[in-house]
Amino acid sequence: MSEARREVTVIYCCDDDLSLYRKTKFFNLNSYGEMIIPHDFRLGKTIVAVCDGNINVINSVGDKLVSHY
């Protein structure tokens, strides 16, 4: 029997960088239906948000400030 998985987009910044990044991945669910983000993915990151499915970020914090320079 295959494990249950969920597609999410994780928005994060690296521990040594304040820029926002995003990555869409499938993660396994435990027997209670809770998603498990593996330690090796979390390592070196501060997770800001976990969104259901594949999302397209149109604008994020700082985008308009940076574009004026």
**What is the tens place of the pLDDT at every residue in 23-69?**
999 999 999 999 999 999 999 999 999 999 999 888 776 665 444 44
SS3 of residue 41 by DSSP: helix
Residue 2 scores a pLDDT above 70: no
Answer yes or no: are the C-beta atoms of 7 and 53 closer than 8 Å. Answer: yes
pLDDT at site 67: 47
Q: Give pLDDT, residue 68.
A: 47
Q: Is the separation of the CB atoms in 38 and 5 below 8 Å? A: no
SS3 state at 64? helix
For position 54, what pLDDT does the model report? Answer: 96
What is the reported pLDDT for 1? 55
